[in-house]
Copies of this chain bind each other. A is one copy, B any other.
């Protein structure tokens, strides 16, 4: 339902492949191929290639100029907050540094969202938050998925903030959380914040305790941050 229209659209798969290639540095040392070279490589028509290229331009990954060809943009021009770009980076070029940076911004963003949620959450928002907490408790008893219930909670809080910019980070944070938890689990064994810890945040939001909710959410994520910092720093 949320799939790309043509599930195996040629354009889409070229965008994927080039996008992943760019963020993983496949073209760092070699000049980026020209349009026609890419056509040949993918066995696709010119227009299809051009459309793929345009999508990557729209995401800030490349630029094009006559006589100069296609070039990978300097990294600071990439739309890091574009869900595709971030996902490509997290899934294909995971690095401790990226995870640390992302968790740092989560400390600010999610605690801010919690504070807003405490003030502005609608009844429906509150129900969503409580439902997620319920799932987390269920997960501790093996009756639900721990990963998805955790993500559901964080998304519900962003949603409850009523601020579109926080809401925008929903996809990013759920993608990142997914990768983050998988990694930390793999490296350290299952060890993450309990449903009880999350519940404390939820209760403060439901009670409208804005500043307390901010602090509690910050502490919660700080816990994840500390866990990450204990991981081996290789690369």
Contacts and interface: CB of A to CB of B under 8 A. Distances in A.
> In terms of DSSP, what is the predominant structure of the interface of chain A?
helix
Interface string A97-111: 010011011011101
A66 B5 CA distance: 8
A63 B5 CA distance: 8
A11 B163 CA distance: 33
Interface in A39-68: 47, 50-52, 54-59, 63-66
Interface stretch (A77-85, A126-134, A144-152, A200-208): A77-85
Nearest to A76: B167
A80 B168 contact: yes
B109 A105 contact: yes
A163 B51 contact: no
Nearest to A115: B108
A164 interface: yes
A59 B85 CA distance: 11
Contacts of A76: 164, 167-168
Contacts of A75: 164
Contact of A105 (B56, B101, B163): B163
Given A55-B58, A76-B168, 12 more contacts: A5-B63, A54-B54, A54-B55, A58-B59, A76-B164, A76-B167, A79-B79, A98-B164, A104-B116, A104-B165, A105-B109, A109-B109
13 contacts: A5-B63, A11-B54, A47-B50, A50-B51, A52-B54, A54-B55, A54-B58, A80-B168, A81-B165, A98-B164, A101-B164, A102-B165, A104-B116
